[in-house]
Chain A
Amino acid sequence: MEWETVIGLEVHAQLATQSKIFSGAATAYGASPNTQACAVDLGLPGVLPVLNAEAVRMAVKFGLAIGATIAPRSVFARKNYFYPDLPKGYQISQYELPVVAKGSIEIELEDGRVKTIGITRAHLEEDAGKSLHEDFHGKSGIDLNRAGTPLLEIVSEPDMRSAKEAVAYMKKIHSLVRYLEICDGNMQEGSFRCDANVSVRPKGREKFGTRAELKNINSFRFVEKAINFEVERQIELLESGGSVVQETRLYDADKGETRPMRSKEEANDYRYFPDPDLLPLEIEGAFIAQVKTTLPELPDQKKQRFVTDYALTPYEAGVLTASRELAGFYEAVVEAAQGEAKLAANWVTGDLLGALNKAGLDILASPVSPQALGGLLLRIKDNTISGKIAKQVFDAMWHGEGDADTVIQAKGLRQVTDSGAIEKVVDEVIARSPQQLEQYRAGKEALFGYFVGQVMKASEGKANPAQVNALLKEKLK
């Protein structure tokens, strides 16, 4: 039987506020345990929550960016369950009336087609603390620094049909929240994480299969792996006559498998009800209009502009706009290279990203600045060096040997454009290759490359390739 995979994602994005969603404690990552857990975060008797205005603003910003409806009135509810990292015994979240509803984003599929993924809702809630399992003599340690950090939970429709689509969606949301500057997107620190609802059904059937919820997925790679593992597990189960149980499963990155979560084994009854400590959140049109004026150019808009203004292919534009920082870097290179947009795109997506990847560096940590790269491109453009020599220059710049001009000067890499000098080399090469000359003239035109190579070698790569070509064509006739 042919199976179809159905995936919906719940992305949790930590909002980049200074203070927590309901208290004035700091949200900074990495503090010593429980030093950023104030009375409200600890759920001490008698304390009360007060909502952070910035968290609301950020949620509205996200809603506007995905073309969603901003609820004029939304309600905070309590989700009741006992867990040591949940100090009050309930999580304050939004249940029936979320702040953001019904939006969508577009993802690009591998074959280049664009697919719209619906976003059911996005709601504000507080994060829980952390349970630490090691080093406490068989006990667990509870650190509540993270408790109360604002989260935007972004819930998609079950619109994705493969792990690859899920990854593309997650990447798109990741890019969007960073463009909007509402989340730092740091997946290692848990600022951006996701749960995946995965089910399979026989191809062509309308009804969804029973789904499993995969928790604890904190990298793009793991999303793909976890989903693929789970899909296979479910298909195997169904094909061997079994049935999928609706349950919460934990993705174990070390073993590359999913397994049922013991803490979630019993059916939960969260007893949601409106939080009586908080009044309904009302958002006026004027506030929404004001937030709208603060929206930056979004990835899709930027991509379109890159295609139009810089004559890039949609693929190149897509790569360059994947993050706001990369797009900004690229535009700075174009400016420094006096408008050499295509050349800049080639270099940024090629040599630069390659080198960054290899070194495991972020674009903002690039050892070669946009201005320096632009300077290098100018030297290509004005024929000071060839594209090939430029790679050598770039490598030196990467290793801190100075800007393009310094490197070219120091290594004597300036391109030879003196046609007399080049002609001399060409003549020498022809003179010492009588055999090849004969064959070439007899019709083996592929040998042209041999002559070019010899000339370039003899000139240590510095001869202007266009001139070399022209001269050789002439002399080999």
Chain B
Amino acid sequence: MSLQPSDVEKIAHLARLAVSEQDTPAYVRNLSNIIDLVGQMNAVDTTHVTPMAHPLDMAARLRPDAVTEINQRERFQAIAPEVDAGVYLVPKVIE
């Protein structure tokens, strides 16, 4: 199955990746090859197989409800691109 440039544009938008027009053909080609590779899966009938989401056959372990974290805002925001008065800044969000 071959992807079209429009597919790549759609995927790139969903993944929030800027892809230039110039790079698009290479992505179309490479992604199509990869999708062809994984398409080999279709040769096997898996009707009665239970999906395996995880290698470990274990159940969730729960933690007790206790506050164990302290305020580390200064440390965390020291590595942030843009902060002001304790909040992270981004271009205006429109709801």
Interface residues of A (CB under 8 A from B): 17-19, 23-26, 32-39, 42, 44, 50-56, 73, 75-76, 82-84, 131-133, 136, 138-144, 250, 261-263, 269, 271, 274, 276, 278-282
Contact = CB atoms under 8 A, between A and B. Distances in A.
Interface stretch (B20-28, B31-39, B41-49, B58-66): B58-66
Contacts of B61: 50-51, 279
Contact of A139 (B60, B77, B91): B91
Contacts of A139: 89-92
A263 B95 contact: yes
Contacts of B69: 19, 23-26, 36, 38
A274 B53 contact: yes
A30 to B, nearest CB: 14
A34 B77 contact: yes
Contacts of B94: 262-263
B63 A52 contact: yes
Interface string B65-90: 11111011100110000001111111
Contacts of A84: 88, 90, 93
A34 B77 CA distance: 9
Contacts of B58: 279
5 contacts: A19-B68, A36-B71, A139-B92, A141-B89, A281-B59
B80 to A, nearest CB: 9
A282 B59 contact: yes
Contacts of A274: 53-54
Chain B binding surface, main DSSP class: loop
Contacts, number: 124
Nearest to A26: B67
A358 to B, nearest CB: 36
Nearest to A16: B65
A34 B87 contact: yes
B67 A25 contact: yes
Contacts of B88: 34, 84, 141-142, 144
B1 interface: no
Contacts of B18: none
A140 B60 CA distance: 37
Contacts of B60: 51, 76, 278-282
Nearest to B10: A269
A53 B65 contact: yes
Report, nearest first, the 3 A-B pairs whose CB atoms are least far apart. Answer: A24-B68, A141-B87, A54-B65
A408 to B, nearest CB: 50
**Residue among A17, A82, A141 facing the most chain B CB atoms (10 A cut-off):** A141
A76 B14 CA distance: 22
Given A44-B76, A51-B63, A282-B59, A261 B95 contact: yes
Contact of A250 (B16, B56, B95): B95
A23 B66 CA distance: 9
A84 B60 CA distance: 29
Contact of B92 (A75, A83, A140, A280): A140
Given A18-B65, A138-B92, A141-B88, A34 B53 contact: no
Contacts of B56: 279
Contact of A142 (B62, B64, B89): B89
A148 B25 CA distance: 40
A32 B72 CA distance: 12
